[in-house]
Amino acid sequence: MSKQTKQSGVIINVPEIELKYNSGNFVAALPKIKSSEDASKVLRNLYDKEEIELHEVMFVLYLNRGNKPLGFYKHTVGGRSSGIVDTVLILATAVKSLASAFILAHNHPGGNPQPSDNDLSITRELAAAAKLLRIQFVDHIIMTKESHNSFADSGLLGFQSTYHNLHDELLVANSPNLNKTSSEMKKKAGKIERELRKL
């Protein structure tokens, strides 16, 4: 579809840019991503078992506000030791799908899950760009045939990821100190209420 505009007596057809997204009924059935283990299980299913040791493939998993996968984007297929990363395309897809967060993943065909200097550089660049758009960069996961390595778990993102926030919330909720503090607060609240009734 296009619209006609007139400029200096010349009619110009301007194409309309359409943004469409249809998740179907898949999102409701997908589990929440609460850890790198959850993410790696989903991501591993995206990789062709015969290709994971052949060449690098980069996937981006996009999440909604409830940390459920909206869908994935097969970003690049590279060579035996590297692939091209286009920050603009990764974030444009996030914006198009109205994603609140995303997880980047690529495989190391050689089987070494440790990040290269290039992996670290890409992660820093993408994290800075995502921050400007207020899209949460949750993790960068390196996949191998047998294992995975999470930047978030290793502290390599340079900031606290959603995983850590969720983990901290679970720790706080199950902390005996929290129950003790909660009990003390209730006692203080009761004492203040009694004092106010005397006035």
* Per-residue model confidence as pLDDT tens digits over 39-63: 999 999 999 888 888 888 999 999 9
For 140-169, the pLDDT digits (tens) are 999 999 899 999 988 887 766 666 554 444
Task: Report which DSSP code applies to 121.
Answer: H
Q: Quick one: pLDDT at residue 178?
A: 39
E strand spans, the chain: 2-7, 10-15, 57-63, 69-77, 101-107, 136-143, 148-150
**Other CB atoms within 10 A of residue 75 CB:** 20
Q: Quick one: pLDDT at residue 169?
A: 42
For 184-194, the pLDDT digits (tens) are 555 655 554 55
**Other CB atoms within 10 A of residue 9 CB:** 5
Q: Quick one: pLDDT at residue 10?
A: 66
E strand spans, 41-124: 57-63, 69-77, 101-107
For 69-108, the pLDDT digits (tens) are 998 988 877 655 455 788 999 999 999 889 999 999 999 9
Distances (CA, A) of 146 to 37, 97, 115: 13, 31, 16
pTM: 0.70
Q: Quick one: pLDDT at residue 159?
A: 63
Query: What CA–CA distance (Å, rounded) separates 170 from 129?
Result: 29
Query: What CA–CA distance (Å, rounded) separates 22 from 32?
Result: 19
How would residue 17 be classed by pLDDT, with cut points 50, 70 and 90?
A: low
| pLDDT mean over 165-182 | 44
Mean residue pLDDT of the chain comes to 77
